[in-house]
Amino acid sequence: MDYEDKRSKLVESLKKRAFLTKPSVIKAMLKVPRHKFLPKGAIESAYIDSPLSIGIGQTISAPHMNAMMCELLELTEGEKVLEIGTGSGYHAALCAELVAPDYSKNPGHVYTIERHKELADKAEESLINTGYGDIVTVICGDGTLGYPQEAPFHKILVTASSPKKVPPPLKKQLKNGGILCIPAGSKEWGQDLYIISKKENKFDSKRVTGVRFVPLIGEWGFPE
């Protein structure tokens, strides 16, 4: 079975388990080649629904988590997205497919921040090699500070677990009418995924489910 067949099989199983329902997200998950974002030793496991190691103690999330977060964010064409925690760059590529499916017509953009330079450089290379170089900007730095030079963002997703108090710069940099998707809680266990929407500078927060992510380390995150 080639990678495309394996990817289709994975998507079918995510649909059956109701992690994938939106046609736009299904299309993006069918298109983005997860195996091209992985280190050599993990490539053969690319289409198993599991988190995988990407080096220096970090992981790429399980595909069902990518699917769930993309659906919750309601990403649509033309939006400006901020991702905190680039990791492999795979989730940023999925977001790129959703906000800029036809880049020439409706240029949405994804800004993604990674604190480890080694991962940021590798992710940038993978994004360029898979054709997302013009739609995704990779930044190396502390994502808990957001990216004020491009704010406000329609959508913000955080792919590492924040302390219970969500970093204030991220709330500030979210556009009115925007959605922030963030895991928060303790550094290891007892984390929950939240969807926070902003309307007229007021925030409405909803818990979605229990999750387990690597910690968000930084000025408004956990200490190293």
Catalytic residues: 61
Contact residues: ligand SAM, CB under 6 A: 58-61, 84-85, 87-88, 90-91, 113-116, 119, 142-144, 159-160, 213-214, 216-218, 221
Smallest separation, CB 3 to ligand SAM (Å): 17
Give the shortest CB-158-to-ligand SAM separation in angstroms.
8
Q: How many residues are recorded in the chain?
A: 224
Closest alpha carbon to 35 in 77, 1, 4: 4
CB of 78 vs ligand SAM, minimal distance in Å: 22
On the question of a cis peptide bond just before residue 152, with omega within 30 degrees of 0, the verdict is yes
CB of 11 to ligand SAM, least distance (A): 17
Q: Whose Cβ is closer to ligand SAM: residue 1's or residue 72's?
A: 72
Give every CB contact of residue 130 below 8 A, 6+ residues apart in sequence.
32, 33, 36, 37, 93
Nearer to ligand SAM, 98 or 216 (CB): 216
Q: How far is the CB of 220 from ligand SAM (least distance, A)?
A: 8
Closer to ligand SAM by CB, 108 or 218: give it: 218
How far is residue 113 from each of residues 59, 119, 133, measured CA to CA in Å?
15, 10, 15
- Toward ligand SAM, which CB reaches closer, 41 or 177? 41
Distance CA 62, CA 36 (A): 15
Closer to ligand SAM by Cβ: residue 26 or 217 = 217
Q: Is the dihedral of CA 69, 199, 218, 140 positive or negative?
A: positive
* Side-by-side strand order, sheet with 109-114: 136-140, 109-114, 80-84, 153-158, 174-185, 191-199, 202-211
Q: How far apart are CA 6 and CA 45, in angstroms?
A: 10
